[in-house]
Structure 1
Amino acid sequence: MDITIENLQVDDLHANPNNPRKQVGDVDELASSIRSQGIKQPLLVTPTGETDIDGHKQYRVVIGHRRLAAARQAGLSTVPAIVEEMDARREREIMLVENTQRSDLTPIEEADGYQGLLDLGVHVKEMAEKTGRSDRFVRRRLKIARIPQETRDMSADFSQLSLDQLDKLAEFESDPDMQRELARADDFDCTYQRLCRERRKTIWHDKALEALAKAGIKVESLPDGKNFWNWHPHGYKAAHSFSDINTDFWTSFIRESDWPEARVYSYEYWFCTYTPISADELEKDKAKTDKDNAIKARGRELNRQAREFEAIAKANRTAWLKANLRTLTHEHAETGICRLALADTVGWRSVFPYQSYKGEDVIRELIAFGWSLPITEHDDEHWSLECRENLDSIRMVLKDRPLRILDVLAARWESNIGWNYWRSRHGVDDMCCWYDVLERIGYRVSEDERKALKGAYLDGGDDES
């Protein structure tokens, strides 16, 4: 393999289209240094196999893109360069190894560099060895590299997405529509939580259909515009609605004695059953007014929406508290402590507030916030997580860092609230108090959360006061 050092014309040197780093950045300082001292380290180039109109050989830069850009800015006509004949694979290997040593290489640039080598037949283990990375690291980057260009173009600034965000995008490789929706989202974290839940619901729904089919149960579709609460087949009444994706309802359902008589329907992601109505019940059913049915249907639909919303909102709150509680400023921590202490002790109503907390639930919230406690699961010696070992561990932390009492106060609130808070005026008031504290310590309240705080899930909707 021929290697020479030559002074080459700047006009004969071309940027490598496969360079992992797409932007050379600001070269003003480097150009100034080159004007006064010249180029101390030669570029590494390889012949392209082509010539210009005057017959001059053309070269492709392998290492030294910033030096070439600075040399052009400094007005140099020639630059020293090591000329080496190399194939496409060696070019990419050298560029990737050289660039991975730099801190300004973005995760997606590095990922695309690995993908380029993979396309040339380089195995993961070999890439890992050449770049000093682990196999797991390389596979993680390759998964990111598979994010389609169409999806990348939908992001406002794809190159600036964090590694964590890129990993989350790559999770939706099997669902391009969800991946594109996440890429163009303004509120990335909130959208991610919602899409994860939708994906889980789809998996749960498909698994249920398969289990019911094996049991010989016919699943029908509800008429367009109808749901479990505002419609039923003639001669049948609503029996059960199944929407908890954390339970395999079909395991118990297919053992029920009345299922051969019941009719099973699928509604969006959910399932519902209807059982036959007796003659007497049919008469009573006819006596119901449309207004009563509409009120009940509205209430149940709001319950479902509130459950759905709170599942996403709680995931966002917990993720934010886990990431930020330990790094709050002294001022923010004191603000949170004072506000929660006021709400828990004096409150704002005509009587003192009453809050009942379950110690085990508070411990679970602290663990969700990232606290490392000695007992995280039940065993023969610990029937509850509210045990001496955990409480002593919490007290030791508070002894050294008393402002961490905010974590405990926050855990008490999170352990006590639920979706039903959004369905009552009293509960929404409590939520307003809690979100006021969260916002004061830096939490970014989403548009959906603001709507809920204004009463979106109350029976009167946004107009209720």
Structure 2
Amino acid sequence: MGITIENLRVDDLHANPHNPRKQVGDVEELASSIRSQGIKQPLLVTPTGETDIDGHEQYRVVIGHRRLAAARQAGLATVPAIVEEMDARREQEIMLVENTQRSDLTPVEEADGYQGLLDLGMQVKEMAEKTGRSDRFVRRRLRIARIPQETRDMASDFSQLTLDQLDKLAEFESDPDLQRELARSKDFEWTYRKLSKERDGAKWVEEADKALSRAGIKVESFSGDKQYWNWTPRGYRYEQTIHPGDGAFWKRFTGFEAWPELRVFFQDDCFTLYRPIPPEQLEKAEREKAGQREAKARRGELDRQAREFESIAKANRIAWLKTNLHTLTHERTVAGICELVRVETVGRGSQIPYQPSHGEGVVATLVGFGWSLPITEHSNDHWSLECEENLDAIRRTLDDRPMRILDVLAARQEEHADWHAWRTMRGVEDMRAWYDALEHLGYKPSAEEREALKGAYLDKGDDES
């Protein structure tokens, strides 16, 4: 193998397509140095075996890509070069070893360099020895090199991915679809966690299926709209639902003698277990279910009654407020405002009042009170009555007549009142506070309303009441 040093024409030197480092970067400073001092270290090149139209032999650069680029920028016609005949394996080995000593070689470039040597027959151990790396390091880079070009093209800037991100991307080499999804994601870390969970869950389910099959357990599926939270097989009781990654599952599986008597259902990557109910407990459970059905029917009837009652009561309240709000004396208006502010802030029950008031409902109630507002119906331009035109009109009215804030306070209370309030003790307490304020204004509750305020629509057997 002959080695010579020659001054070669820059036009006869070509970048190596297998060079691990794909970008030479900014060579302005190097070009300036070459202009003043020339090239101190010759390039290493190898003949391509081809000539140009004038018969000049052509060469491929092995070491010195940046120097060649700088020489071109400096305007040199020739550069000193060591010419060495070498095979493809030797050529790639030299380029990889030389570039691994540089800090600006990206993980992807280094990985592809190792892959090139692997394709030429070099073993991992030999690559590690040649580059001064560990076997584990080389294998890690080769795993990155196996990321397909199609996947690389999906990333917004594959070359800028960190080593940690490349390792995570390489984890999905057995599932190209997930790997491509991760590559094109905008939020890499969030997508990685999501896909990892899906991958690990699928693996866990596969292993669990095999284990249950070996144990002779038939895994059933829920049918129709049945779910583990709304249905239990007759004669069984719910035991537990085992989720992906639940290590306790395997411990229970290996030491649980009761497995054969359990029924196992699968849905949404979860296994739900049901245990047989002993005969004596089954009879008790049937009685409890009957009681639950009765309680449900009782609550349904109370719901119906409360809904019907509130429909009438609300109509009465709105009609009275519409007629009387604007006729109240100054003293009664002030007293009403003070009372409603108290209702909204501290109430009269055991807890601070809950006020989820929605502006749409408040404005609609003010319209019900007889307020003249610009927008009283929905349209494409006004999908909500809580719009700038209405709010400006309300504020102008309050600027001229501040005491009309009483209307707004009353509207907020009415918007909050509905039939559900009569079905819980907390709701009844809120309604009592509202009716107290109404009575301060002069409203006279009906006999039915007074019964409702005593809790007529509460389920006396309902713990939450």
Shorter chain as denominator, the TM-score bin is 0.5 to 0.7
* CA distance in 2: counterparts of 1:250 and 1:272, whole angstroms: 14
2:247 alignment partner, SS class: coil
More off after superposition, 159-168 vs 241-250: 241-250
* CA distance in 1: counterparts of 2:56 and 2:285, whole angstroms: 96
Residue 157 of structure 1: how far off its partner (Å): 1.6
* CA distance in 2: counterparts of 1:204 and 1:25, whole angstroms: 47
Aligned to 2:22: 22
AA matched with 1:272? T
Residue 265 of structure 1: how far off its partner (Å): 1.6
Residue 257 of structure 1: how far off its partner (Å): 6.8
Q: Residues 16, 231 of structure 1: CA spacing in aligned structure 2 closer, same or farther, 3 A cutoff?
A: farther
Residue 159 of structure 1: how far off its partner (Å): 1.2
* CA distance in 1: counterparts of 2:60 and 2:195, whole angstroms: 44
* CA distance in 2: counterparts of 1:130 and 1:205, whole angstroms: 44
On the 8 A contact 2:21/2:109 being kept in 1, the answer is: yes
Q: Residues 257, 35 of structure 1: CA spacing in aligned structure 2 closer, same or farther, 3 A cutoff?
A: closer
Aligned to 2:200: 200
Aligned pairs (5 A) from 1:42-441: 42-223=42-223, 227-231=227-231, 238-243=238-243, 245-249=245-249, 251-252=251-252, 259-260=259-260, 262-274=262-274
Residue 250 of structure 1: how far off its partner (Å): 5.3
On the 8 A contact 2:111/2:144 being kept in 1, the answer is: yes
1:150 alignment partner, SS class: helix
* CA distance in 2: counterparts of 1:53 and 1:235, whole angstroms: 92
Residue 193 of structure 1: how far off its partner (Å): 2.8
On the 8 A contact 2:205/2:244 being kept in 1, the answer is: no
1:153 alignment partner, SS class: helix
1:249 alignment partner, SS class: helix
On the 8 A contact 2:44/2:62 being kept in 1, the answer is: yes
How many residues are aligned here?
291
CA RMSD between the two structures: 2.9
* CA distance in 1: counterparts of 2:292 and 2:150, whole angstroms: 53
Q: Residues 66, 288 of structure 1: CA spacing in aligned structure 2 closer, same or farther, 3 A cutoff?
A: farther
Residues 297-337 of structure 1, C-alpha deviations (whole Å, 9 max, x = no match): xxxxxxxxxxxxxxxxxxxxxxxxxxxxxxxxxxxxxxxxx
Aligned to 2:380: none
On the 8 A contact 1:235/1:282 being kept in 2, the answer is: no
AA matched with 2:124? V
Q: Residues 281, 16 of structure 1: CA spacing in aligned structure 2 closer, same or farther, 3 A cutoff?
A: same
On the 8 A contact 2:43/2:82 being kept in 1, the answer is: yes
Identity %: 71
* CA distance in 1: counterparts of 2:244 and 2:36, whole angstroms: 71
More off after superposition, 161-170 vs 251-260: 251-260
Residues 309-366 of structure 1, C-alpha deviations (whole Å, 9 max, x = no match): xxxxxxxxxxxxxxxxxxxxxxxxxxxxxxxxxxxxxxxxx9xxxxxxxxxxxxxxxx
* CA distance in 2: counterparts of 1:127 and 1:25, whole angstroms: 27
Residue 144 of structure 1: how far off its partner (Å): 1.9
* CA distance in 1: counterparts of 2:86 and 2:242, whole angstroms: 63
Aligned to 1:32: 32
On the 8 A contact 2:201/2:244 being kept in 1, the answer is: no
Give the TM-score normalised by structure 1: 0.56
Residues 181-206 of structure 1, C-alpha deviations (whole Å, 9 max, x = no match): 33223322333333333333222212
Residue 216 of structure 1: how far off its partner (Å): 0.7
Greater CA radius of gyration, 1 or 2? 2
AA matched with 1:35? R
Q: Residues 170, 286 of structure 1: CA spacing in aligned structure 2 closer, same or farther, 3 A cutoff?
A: farther
Aligned to 1:387: none
* CA distance in 2: counterparts of 1:279 and 1:37, whole angstroms: 102
Residues 363-388 of structure 1, C-alpha deviations (whole Å, 9 max, x = no match): xxxxxxxxxxxxxxxxxxxxxxxxxx
Q: Residues 227, 155 of structure 1: CA spacing in aligned structure 2 closer, same or farther, 3 A cutoff?
A: farther
Residue 215 of structure 1: how far off its partner (Å): 1.2
Gaps of 5+ in 1: 293-349, 351-465
On the 8 A contact 1:151/1:180 being kept in 2, the answer is: yes
More off after superposition, 150-159 vs 260-269: 260-269
Residues 193-232 of structure 1, C-alpha deviations (whole Å, 9 max, x = no match): 3333333322221221111111111112334775322455
Gaps of 5+ in 2: 297-351, 353-465
Residue 33 of structure 1: how far off its partner (Å): 1.9
Q: Residues 65, 288 of structure 1: CA spacing in aligned structure 2 closer, same or farther, 3 A cutoff?
A: farther
On the 8 A contact 1:212/1:254 being kept in 2, the answer is: no
* CA distance in 2: counterparts of 1:161 and 1:225, whole angstroms: 45
Q: Residues 8, 180 of structure 1: CA spacing in aligned structure 2 closer, same or farther, 3 A cutoff?
A: same
AA matched with 1:209? D
AA matched with 2:30? L
AA matched with 2:178? M
Is residue 5 from structure 1 mapped to residue 5 from structure 2 by the alignment? yes
Aligned to 1:357: none
* CA distance in 1: counterparts of 2:224 and 2:6, whole angstroms: 76
Residues 26-51 of structure 1, C-alpha deviations (whole Å, 9 max, x = no match): 01111222222222222111111112
More off after superposition, 173-182 vs 146-155: 173-182
On the 8 A contact 2:219/2:266 being kept in 1, the answer is: yes
Q: Residues 133, 35 of structure 1: CA spacing in aligned structure 2 closer, same or farther, 3 A cutoff?
A: same
* CA distance in 1: counterparts of 2:155 and 2:49, whole angstroms: 38
Q: Residues 281, 14 of structure 1: CA spacing in aligned structure 2 closer, same or farther, 3 A cutoff?
A: same
AA matched with 1:99? N
Q: Residues 221, 131 of structure 1: CA spacing in aligned structure 2 closer, same or farther, 3 A cutoff?
A: same
Q: Residues 42, 266 of structure 1: CA spacing in aligned structure 2 closer, same or farther, 3 A cutoff?
A: same
Residue 270 of structure 1: how far off its partner (Å): 0.8
* CA distance in 2: counterparts of 1:97 and 1:250, whole angstroms: 48
AA matched with 1:148? P
AA matched with 2:111? A
* CA distance in 1: counterparts of 2:57 and 2:248, whole angstroms: 69
More off after superposition, 150-159 vs 240-249: 240-249
* CA distance in 1: counterparts of 2:290 and 2:265, whole angstroms: 22
* CA distance in 2: counterparts of 1:135 and 1:20, whole angstroms: 19
